[in-house]
Amino acid sequence: MRVISHKRLVDAAKNRPGAADAIDRWYRIAKRADWRSIHDVRRVFPTADPVGEFTVFNLSGNQYRLITVIRYTQHNIFIDSVLTHREYDEWSRRQRAKK
C-alpha cells in the first residue's frame, strides 16, 4: 500500500512521543500490505474499524487513534490524523453529527 503522507506520521510521532513506536510499527506493516478490504486489514489489525469513509486504528494500547482513508482499489492509504482517545471522542461526535 502507498501511505500518503508519511510526513504526517513523522510529525505525529514528534508531537506525540508516546505513540511514536506504534506509529512506526503501523507504517512498516501498512506500506508492505496488500489490503483489498477491511477484512484484510483486520487480519493484521483486528481492532481497526470503519467509521464512515475512514478506517480507524488503535495505537499504543488504545491511547491513540490513527485516522485514515483507505482506497483499496488504488492501494492508497491517506493519513488524516493521529488523535488521543479524548480527541478521538470529539472527532467521532462530529462525524456522527454530519449524518
70, β-bridge pairs: 77
**pLDDT of 85 strictly over 90:** no
Which residue range is the domain that position 69 belongs to? 2-97
pLDDT tens for each residue of 50-79: 988 999 999 988 899 999 999 999 999 999
Predicted structure pTM score: 0.92
- In CATH, what number is assigned to the domain containing residue 81? 3.30.2310.20
Number of domains in the chain: 1
Out of 45-54, 65-74, 85-94, pick the least confident. 85-94
Which pLDDT band holds residue 2 (cuts at 50, 70, 90)?
A: very high
